[in-house]
Amino acid sequence: MNIRETLEEFKVVFSIPLPESLAFTFLGEKITAITINETVVLSWVVMALLIAGALLITRKLQEIPRGAQVFLEWAIEFCNTFSAQYLGRRAKVFAPYIGTVFLFLLTANIIPVLSPVSIAAFNIEPPFSIKPPTRDINLTAALSLLSIVLVLFSGLKVRGFKGWCKNLLHPVPLMLPFNLMDYIIRPVSLCLRLFGNILGGFIIMMLIEVSLPVPIFVPVILSLYFDFFDGLIQAVIFTFLTTLFVAEAVE
């Protein structure tokens, strides 16, 4: 297994050729096709899993919940309560987004648990491996930008343009540059925190699997922490901080 290549490259799964009339030049390079790498494909897989799960759980809802419906109603109630705690009466507006981001990140972070690489030992190359798409800084950056755009437009919607500009001067006009910097620092912080923790856990798991002569169950146990537990923590942190940022913007 070439660790360096695995960390630095995101394999192109397929390409969509562009007609000559749609080809364009970007940074001095002519773009003649749209490449779809493994991060995009895995993101599609995560979305497909969530959509399929939602359809399966909600297809036979009952007045008295049973089985998976009990868990579904508990999860929705928890999300609504969590949002109401910080957003008050506006929780119904933002709870769907907060819950969706959490489910997406949780699934994306823990999806390597399903991969044979989690149980590969003795330097054996598995037939295929599932890597967390959140180890790609492009994905974490996109999610962070989406969150900060939500924060920005929520503040403008609730306060109005004049109120939003006035809030930038709070508590004193001298804070204007620092309040503006928040709209840069916050998404960078969200992006790098998620990216760094997921990539760090991924690297540690790879090093353990390819370098240590450990019994086969050891990588599996460690995977439950680095892929599942740590993935859950990072999803919670990202969602929690996004909620706090939105609550601050609309208070």
Model pLDDT for residues 153-195, shown as the tens digit of each residue: 998 988 888 888 888 888 888 888 888 898 899 999 999 999 9
In a domain, 22, yes or no: no
In a domain, 136, yes or no: yes
In a domain, 23, yes or no: no
Which pLDDT score is estimated for 82? 87
In a domain, 72, yes or no: yes
Q: What is the DSSP letter of 118?
A: G
Which pLDDT score is estimated for 1? 46
Q: How many domains are contained in the chain?
A: 1
How far is Cα 51 from Cα 230, in angstroms, rounded to an integer?
A: 24
Mean pLDDT, the chain cut into blocks of 10 residues (251 residues total)? 52 74 73 82 91 86 78 84 87 89 91 59 48 89 93 90 86 85 91 90 76 61 75 91 90 79
What is the extent of the structural domain holding 210? 48-250
In a domain, 87, yes or no: yes
Which pLDDT score is estimated for 58? 82
Token pair recorded at residue 26:
């970007």
Determine the 3-state secondary structure of 131 from DSSP.
coil
128 CB-near residues (< 8 Å, 6+ apart): 115, 116
Backbone angles phi, psi at 171, to 5 degrees: -85, -15
